[in-house]
Amino acid sequence: MSIDFIKLHGLGNDFVVIDGMKGNVDVDPAQVRALCDRHFGIGADGVIVVQPPKNSGSAGYMHYINTDGSLAQMCGNGVRCTAKFLVDEGYVDASQGELTVDTLAGKRPLQFSVDTGKLTEATVNMGEPIFDPELVPVRAPQESVADHAESGTSFVRDLKVQTPWCDVTFTCISMGNPHALWFIDSFEELPDALFNGEKTLENMDIDRIGAYLESHEVFSEKSNIEFVELRDGLLHTRVFERGVGETLACGTGACATGVGGYLTGRVGREVDVVLPGGMLKIEWTEGGAVKMTGPATESYRGTI
C-alpha cells in the first residue's frame, strides 16, 4: 500500500506522522519497524497515527508506536508534534492558540504559538507525576522510599540496582510512562568501562548501559533510563528510551528529570533540561501538574 506521511521532530526526537483523521490507517509492528529503520526505511524514533479524538473537547488522538513496534502510553515530544500536525493541516484553527490531545495516558491540554499559520512552539500540561511504586511501576523496597517535607511527596528516591559495572541509585517517577533517573554527582568515581574516552556525560556508553538497565528485573514493564548531571544550574540529560534506544530528546523524560531534580534538592520547581537535541523548559507547578515548553518542527513530507 501507499502511505503519505510528514516527518516531524521535537528537538531531534523524530516521528513518522500519518493522517488517520479521515479514515482508519492500520500499521502493524513489522511495518512500524520498517518505517523507522534509518537505513532501509524513512528513519524515526516512532510512528504517530493521528486519529479522531476519544473525548469531547479534544482535537485528536495520538496513537504512538515505538520503533520496536510496541505501543507507548505517552510521549511529550510526540504530543507537541501531534498538535503541530493538527494545526498545520487545518484540523484546528491556528488562531485558537490552544487545543487538547488525547493519549493513552489521558488528555493533554496545551497552548501554542504560530508563525505564518504554522505551529512553532507549545506548552503542554503533562499532568501530575506518579510516585506510587506499584503505579510507576517499579519493585522498590520500603527503604528506598523517602518523604519530601516541602511538597509532602513520598517517592522512590534511592533505589539501589546492581549492574555488571557498578551499583546504580535511581529515583523513579512516572509521567504516564516509567522513568528511572540516575543523578550522577561524580563521574570520576565510575568505572572506566562505562565511558568511551574521558569521563563525561557526553562520553557515557549509554547504548550498552541503557539496554541493560531498561530491562532490569526491578522494572516489570521496562523503563526509560535517564542519565543526569547538574551543571551550571541546568539539568543535562541523556535518555535511553524504552523500546527505542537513545533519542536526542525525551519530553516525558525531561519532565521526570525536572521533578526528580526538585525532590532531591538539586533544582527549584522551574528548570531548563538540556538534551542532546536542545532544551526544554520544565515547571512543576504548585498545583501538581508538570508543564513542558518546547518546539515542534517539520522536516519533510513524502509518500512511501
User: What residue has cell string 526491578?
Assistant: 218
Across 259-265, average pLDDT: 98
Query: 36, 75, 81, 255: which one is catalytic?
Result: 75
Catalytic annotation on 250? yes
Average pLDDT, stretch 85-89? 98
Please state, rounded to an integer, the average pLDDT across all residues of the chain.
Answer: 97
- 204 phi and psi, to 5 degrees? -65, 140
Proportion of the chain above pLDDT 70, given as a percent: 100
Please tell me whether residue 288 adopts helix, strand or coil conformation.
Answer: coil
Residue 28, pLDDT above cutoff 90: yes
Strand 13-19 versus strand 4-10 pairing type: antiparallel
- Asked if 4-125+294-303 and 142-288 have one fold, the answer is yes
- pLDDT for residue 122 is more than 90: yes
- Report how far residue 174's alpha carbon sits from residue 172's, in angstroms, rounded to the nearest whole number: 7
Return the pLDDT at 222. Answer: 96
Report, as an integer, the average pLDDT of 112-128.
97
Residue 264 CA to chain centroid, in angstroms? 20
The C-alpha atoms of residue 149 and residue 159 are separated, in whole angstroms, by: 19
pLDDT at 1 over 90: no
Residue whose grid cell is 501538581: 288
The C-alpha cell at 79 is 504530543
Q: Rounded to whole angstroms, what are the CA distances from 128 to 47, 106, 159, 286?
A: 25, 11, 21, 11
Query: Where in the chain are the domains?
Result: 4-125+294-303, 142-288
H or E stretch including 98? strand 98-103
| Beta carbons of 181 and 228 less than 8 angstroms apart | yes
146-194 pLDDT, tens digit per residue, is 999 888 999 999 999 999 999 999 999 999 999 999 999 999 999 999 9
Q: Which of 36, 81, 250, 255 is catalytic?
A: 250
**How far from 51 is each of 16, 46, 264, 268, 299, CA to CA, in Å?**
14, 16, 39, 37, 21
- For 147, how many CA atoms within 13 A lie in the half-sphere containing its CB? 3
What's the fold here for domain 4-125+294-303?
Diaminopimelate Epimerase; Chain A, domain 1 (3.10.310)
Q: Which residues contact 39 (CB under 8 A, 6 or more apart)?
A: none
The grid cell for 209 is 548501559
Q: Hunting for cell 488562531 — which residue is that?
A: 95
How would residue 51 be classed by pLDDT, with cut points 50, 70 and 90? very high
Distance in angstroms (rounded) separating the CA atoms of residues 285 and 287: 5
Task: Give the pLDDT confidence of 201-247 residue by residue, as tens digits.
Answer: 999 999 999 999 999 999 999 999 999 999 999 999 999 999 899 99
pTM here?
A: 0.94
70-83 pLDDT, tens digit per residue, is 999 999 999 999 99
DSSP states along 119-135:
EEEEEEE----B--TTT
User: Catalytic annotation on 75?
Assistant: yes
The CATH number corresponding to 142-288 among 3.40.50.450, 3.90.228.20, 3.40.1260.10, 3.10.310.10 equals 3.10.310.10
